[in-house]
Chains A and B, each alone.
Chain A
Amino acid sequence: MGALNILVGVCLIYVAFLFAVAFGAERAALNGKGGWLRSPLIYTLSLSIYCTAWTFYGAVGYAARSGLEYLTIYIGPSLVVIGWWWLLRKLVRIGRSQRITSIADLISSRYGKSNMLAVGVTILAVVGTTPYIALQLQSVTVSFGVFSDAYGAELTEINHGNNALLVACGLALFTIVFGTRNLDANERHHGVVMAIAVEAIVKLFALLAVGAFVVWGVAGGVSDIFERIDASKIGQWDMRGDRWATLIFLSAAAFLCLPRMFQVMVVENEDEDHLRTASWAFPLYLMVMSLFVVPIAVVGLDMMPPGANPDFFVLTVPLATGNDGLAMLSFLGGFSSATSMVIVAALALSTMVSNHIVMPIWLSAQSGGATVSGDVRHVVLLSRRISIAAVVFLGYLYFRLSGGGAALASIGLISFAGVAQFLPVLIGGIFWRGATRTGAFVGLSVGFLIWAYTLLLPSFGTGTLIGTAVLTEGPFGLGWLRPQAFFGITGMDPLVHAIFWSMLLNTLSFFIASLVGFPSPLERLQGAQFVNVFEHSRTPQSWSGSLAQSEDLMVMAQRIIGAREAQRLFEREARRQGLSGLVPEPSPDFLAVLERELAGSVGAATAHAMIGQIVGGASVSVEDLMAVADETAQMMEYSSRLEAKSEEQARTARQLRQANEKLTQISEQKDAFLSQVSHELRTPMTSIRAFSEILRDSDRLSAKEKVRYSSIIHDEAIRLTRLLDDLLDLSVLENGQVSLNEQTGVLGDVLDHALSSALTGNQTVELRVMRDLLSEKVTLTTDLDRLSQVFINLIGNAQKYCDAPTPKLHISVQYGQGQLVIDFIDNGSGISKADQAVIFEKFARTGEQKVSGAGLGLAICREIMTRLGGSVDYLPGQGGAAFRVILPQSAALAAQ
């Protein structure tokens, strides 16, 4: 009894040690010191959960019964891992880029985020895994029983049950504590991974220790053990070829499809490069694990009594030789194998159950869907924890109900064959874009039905779940449907038969149903994403987010991934969009990112549904479909990018052309202006030159002629000076360099001054000016000199151009609507419509000009009025030429 107590004590210490390791790893990761946690070695060791108690105990039993056949179970995975470049690399990349949480999530995500498919895969995974968990519980209790038998302690059936329950509770607790610390399944479970890495070392060490003891302690070294092997009942190669090949295939398939393997290989993967190390390290691990299996089996067969259970030779051989310490180590190895498997399996299954069954049900039970109040995060965590407990308890229940009868190995193979049914859908999904949801559904259903019918049901024993008559004559007497001889093909090994037909029909129906059906846009989109994961690891935009409310999304995201995480994510995305605030635009890009983040917590299908509820319906746009369109996807993407680029270039070219046109126009204007200036300068100069030469060269000029010609020269010189003055004035005004000299005065006085200045010339016909002096008593504060200049110009124009026999100029002043309006209206023939458009241009001269003028006057007026904050315009329809000068209110103080 003492040794048993020690065993219990060691066990408890070991468990406490595992808790400590897990806790320490979590802490290290939290403090950012977890670099060593993310090493390829840890990754490789975590893959060793493939080696469960079935390996630790069962492999020896398997070898004792069937010789080298047990090797197939390790050769398959070795080939898969060595061939990582083919498949694992792609799986891992997809898992990371799509934030896949489980194999059910992968399949559902690939086939259009279908929750139905996810539910189906989850149920099948639970069905396939539960016996396996039971197997682990059984191995722990039985190995404990082996110890107690050895020490003469009587353990009843009840004790066995209690032990199993205790183990189950402990494992559930461990998984809950370290498996549901983070909600996001893509946040790696450092604690769990570290603990199973430690356990991987323990079980390898234990098995090696027992093996070494057997080879060098019991037998007399390597050559002796080989002789013993050849002399034993498994001394000859007696392997059926079909079983050899089928089992290698089966184990390879199961390695890919087992939920727990998917968990450690894809979900917990930190870095794709780890695969490179695992590609040789993991086969090495498997090789070493299976190295001593046959020696232990052979020695056990030699030593132990004929009826002894070969499944526990690993324990019984050390015990029988009195090596209690070694036996205890061996027990710990077995315990490690069992517990690590249960922990990871429970973790993987609970994620699936929670994400694909519990959460959808809970969400649909809430009337408002994702937008209802309440912290979804807690619900998800709770649902995960309950799922873990449920999965483990289910295994316990199976263990109690099955009574632990069947040989361990056969349960393992049945379970393998079950999960292997995922393989066609999985491989098809990541390599064949034509695979559809319907195909997946049909294929999986067919595969599982055949598996259950040909393998699972008969495994419970003839006459229990499946009648003897059915087995020998087929259901309803249909001989070709006999569970172990489809289509009357007898003589096949039952396992090979089951795997052959289930895989064949599974693949076939998957293929045909995929060919016949037509996938939904989302399926095609996801298909392209999965198959071409290396070409574009980015999710395409599947949401048109214009309707989405960022605030609603924020509320939802906070509930699922936690307030801090959500805010960080939103802030990051907002920054990426170039926004300063906390809330990003609900762009398709952002929604895709958010959906993937949420998928990490609740699975792709649920995340899709939740976003869909807020955004208002899943919408795959035409452009998205274009992106999917078969092989041309990338090309189109490329060409659309080119198009965008060329459009941009065209836009730039257009802008350049416009700029060029403008420059050309300005240049032409400048040329025209220079040409005008030249003309205006040369014309008076011509007269000056001509008459000055006449004066110089002719001596027979009369005095009157001399005076006349001199005065012409004089006038033209003045004209030239005026022109230059105007040009300079205009230049100053146009460049804005003019400084206004503000004064206060009365409008009437300004007009008086202007009139007296303008009308000094001894004109032939006198211009009559009519004014309303009363209305002119307006006090102004502006540049009165400039204003006067404008008035002089306008009055001068009237005087020059008014062609009426008795020219009159009417000056009227109105004050109102915040402005002062001064009109100059003459009684001439006015200015033609065409000319009205150009009179304010420089050098614009209208019609037949009797009087010389540079044509700059009105241009200067306009510039001045603009400077004064007002305007001057031609006022059509007044009978004669009419100009309206407007001054702003600020200039006019008050009407008096």
Chain B
Amino acid sequence: MGKNVLVIEDEPNIIEAISFILSRDGWTVATHSNGHDAVGVVTAALPDVVILDVMLPGKNGYDILRELREAELTKGIPVLMLTAKGQVKDREMAARAGASRFMTKPFSNAEVLDAVRELVVGEQQAQ
């Protein structure tokens, strides 16, 4: 399908795993590994889907997402949030920040793939 996915995650091994899974499915995967300039990277790349980790060095995922949702350019981009803290309140915070999907680590590869696909389809339908 040639769609772009941006993975913002600080764990190199997880980046590698997600990249592998999505590339194999035909996605174009870009990665970024810190929170400081994540918003800038998203704004510049304007990917079809963003996979965003919560615990990032520099700036946490919620803050990044909130900024993305506030900006005209990025507010429509579907965002899949990943977190290693599987508590209920994290899910709520993600929803409030404007996450399209929320997944708890560890996840199965198929789940991530399905989630990303659905997000893109949903996006297209919405448009």
Binding site for B on A (CB under 8 A): 675, 678-683, 685-691, 693-694, 697-698, 712, 715-716, 847-849, 852
Contacts and interface: CB of A to CB of B under 8 A. Distances in A.
Given A712-B16, A847-B57, A849-B57, A693 B108 contact: yes
Contacts of B11: 683, 686-687, 852
- Pick the 8 closest A-B CB pairs, nearest first: A690-B17, A682-B84, A687-B13, A686-B105, A686-B106, A689-B106, A679-B84, A848-B57
B55 interface: yes
Contacts of A682: 84-86, 104-106
Contact of A690 (B21, B24, B55): B21
Contacts of A694: 17, 20-21, 109
A455 to B, nearest CB: 100
Nearest to B82: A686
Nearest to A694: B20
B2 interface: no
B95 interface: no
A690 B109 contact: yes
A712 B86 contact: no
B57 A678 contact: no
Interface string B1-34: 0000000001101101110110010000000001
Contacts of B20: 694
Contact of B107 (A686, A715, A849): A686
Contacts, number: 68
A565 B33 CA distance: 90
Nearest to A845: B57
A712 B15 CA distance: 12
B109 A683 contact: no
Contacts of B106: 682, 685-686, 688-690
A683 B16 contact: no
25 contacts: A678-B86, A678-B87, A679-B85, A680-B84, A681-B84, A682-B85, A682-B86, A682-B105, A683-B14, A683-B84, A686-B17, A687-B17, A688-B106, A689-B106, A690-B21, A691-B13, A693-B109, A693-B110, A694-B21, A697-B109, A712-B13, A716-B13, A848-B10, A849-B10, A849-B57
Given A690-B18, A691-B13, A712-B13, 17 more contacts: A678-B84, A678-B86, A681-B84, A682-B104, A683-B11, A685-B106, A686-B84, A689-B106, A689-B108, A690-B14, A690-B21, A693-B108, A693-B110, A716-B13, A847-B57, A848-B34, A849-B10
A680 B83 CA distance: 11
Nearest to B36: A848
Contacts of B57: 847-849
Contacts of B18: 690
A667 to B, nearest CB: 14
A590 to B, nearest CB: 62
B15 to A, nearest CB: 10
Contacts of B108: 689, 693
SS of A interface (majority): helix
**Which of A686, A689, A852 has the most B CB atoms < 10 Å from its CB?**
A686
A750 B114 CA distance: 54
Contacts of B87: 675, 678
A575 to B, nearest CB: 60
A686 B106 CA distance: 4
A712 B105 CA distance: 17
**Which of B14, B24, B34, B86 has the most A CB atoms < 10 Å from its CB?**
B14
Contacts of A678: 84-87
Contacts of B55: 679
A247 B62 CA distance: 105
Given A690-B106, A694-B21, A694-B109, A675 B14 contact: no
Contacts of A690: 14, 17-18, 21, 106-107, 109
Nearest to B55: A679
A682 B110 CA distance: 18
**Which of B10, B24, B57, B106 has the most A CB atoms < 10 Å from its CB?**
B106
**Which of B10, B13, B14, B104 has the most A CB atoms < 10 Å from its CB?**
B13
Contacts of B104: 682
Nearest to B87: A675
Given A693-B109, A694-B20, A697-B109, A687 B14 contact: yes
Interface in B44-86: 55, 57-58, 84-86
Given A678-B84, A678-B85, A683 B17 contact: no
B47 to A, nearest CB: 20
A664 to B, nearest CB: 16
A681 B106 CA distance: 10
Contacts of A712: 13, 16
**Which of A679, A688, A698, A716 has the most B CB atoms < 10 Å from its CB?**
A679
Interface string B98-115: 000000111111100000
A113 to B, nearest CB: 74
A683 B14 CA distance: 8
A76 B85 CA distance: 98
Nearest to A690: B17
A683 B54 CA distance: 12
A680 B86 CA distance: 12
B105 to A, nearest CB: 4
